[in-house]
Amino acid sequence: MRKGANAMKLLKIFLSFYLVINVLSGCVAYNAMPVAARPGDTITLGIGSADGISTSNTTVTYLPDAGSPVPLTDFHVFKLYPDKTSSTLANPANSTWEITATSGHEPWLTVMAINLPTTGLVPGAGVVEISTTADYPTISNHVNDVPISLEILAGTGSPHPLEYNIGLGASATGKFSSLERTHQVIVKPPFDELATWPTYGAIEVTLRFAADGAPPSSFQIVSDDISLYTGSDRNVIHKVSGDELIVSYISPTGLLNYYEPRFSVVPLKAKPLSTPPPLTMPSEPPTVKSVVYYDVDGVVATGPSESEYTVFME
């Protein structure tokens, strides 16, 4: 097997390991993967089901049992999703379902990949501490509260090349940065795990974009999918009307939950958050003009108001 194929196989193995162990309950790992590494090596951490985490709102520090703290600044964060047909997701007995019930978002595992510095790390035991303003499901611990063990070995390593075979004898190099979130507009309905809103046959959200910015036709819609947990069997469609973007959630079962219209508006030419935003990003966040709820018979129903929705840009 080629070296690149081996590298990709190992990457899949340890990411799958984190997925099986951590996403079952949205947990933060007690140990890095691998559990020991040399200065300069790449490690990964499973850090729970974080909502809104990025390199800009997160700091990472290595605290050796003996020695001075060392900032870890070369890192990337991205989401890892399980197979939707796996028992992790498809079996209601798994506590994965509680992630959605206590957060309002789709279950995912946030993975942090860190390239360790080549200087400043002293061989021996220690922990990685993460500080972020990201939100976590109430069912799980916040990563800020969980030190993650890592032993530093003697010698000097190197960042993982992420080389892989693309066929016909050719190879390519992957980038963790390409897995990170891009610049986008995020639309979030309110969420309260104790709320008693009814379920719906349809929910229609209308966004109005600023007249002097990029038109809504410059974007694609990426919707959070929690229909497996609500049984809504929903379809999501959208259309553009002038400076308005209308996103409709339709459930033939009438089981749409009030917090299902959570979606991102992503530029067609998306760029990572670590780079300047594309010219197609809006000049300012769009506003929620209206939210209309319908029961399964198409009759207008009561639900959270548009003022309770949150819209922001990244």
Q: How far apart are CA 38 and CA 20, in angstroms?
A: 26
Name 192's Cβ contacts closer than 8 Å, sequence gap at least 6: none
Lateral strand order in the sheet of 31-37: 70-71, 58-64, 124-132, 148-152, 31-37, 42-46, 109-115, 75-80
130, 29 Cβ separation under 8 angstroms: no
Question: So what's the pLDDT on residue 127?
Answer: 97
41, 159 Cβ separation under 8 angstroms: yes
129, 63 Cβ separation under 8 angstroms: yes
Q: How far apart are CA 11 and CA 165, in angstroms?
A: 13
Question: So what's the pLDDT on residue 94?
Answer: 75
3-state DSSP assignment of residue 218: helix
Question: So what's the pLDDT on residue 30?
Answer: 85
193, 250 Cβ separation under 8 angstroms: no
Chain centre to alpha carbon of residue 222: 12
Question: So what's the pLDDT on residue 4?
Answer: 44
Question: So what's the pLDDT on residue 199?
Answer: 98
What pTM does this model have?
0.87
Phi and psi angles of residue 166, each rounded to the nearest 5 degrees, phi first:
-105, 10
Q: How far apart are CA 268 and CA 221, in angstroms?
A: 10
In 18-123, at which residue ranges do the beta strands (DSSP E only) sit? 31-37, 42-46, 58-64, 70-71, 75-80, 109-115
3-state DSSP assignment of residue 209: coil
Name the strand (E) or helix (H) holding 15: helix 3-22
Question: So what's the pLDDT on residue 169?
Answer: 78
Question: So what's the pLDDT on residue 217?
Answer: 85
Q: How far apart are CA 170 and CA 2, in angstroms?
A: 11
Any idea what DSSP says for residue 277? P
pLDDT along the chain (314 residues), means of 10: 44 49 65 93 94 95 96 95 82 81 92 96 97 94 94 94 80 84 96 96 96 82 93 95 95 97 94 88 93 97 98 94
Q: How many CA atoms are closer than 13 Å to the CA of 225, on its beta-carbon side?
A: 11
Q: What is the dihedral of CA 100, 264, 249, 140, to 10 degrees?
A: 0
Name 120's Cβ contacts closer than 8 Å, sequence gap at least 6: 39, 70
Question: So what's the pLDDT on residue 13?
Answer: 46
Q: Which two tokens stand for residue 214?
A: 């990029």
Q: How far apart are CA 272 and CA 274, in angstroms?
A: 5
Question: So what's the pLDDT on residue 33?
Answer: 87
Q: How far apart are CA 189 and CA 224, in angstroms?
A: 11
Question: So what's the pLDDT on residue 26?
Answer: 61
> Where do the domains of the chain lie, and which CATH numbers do they carry?
3-177 (2.60.40.10), 181-313 (2.60.40)
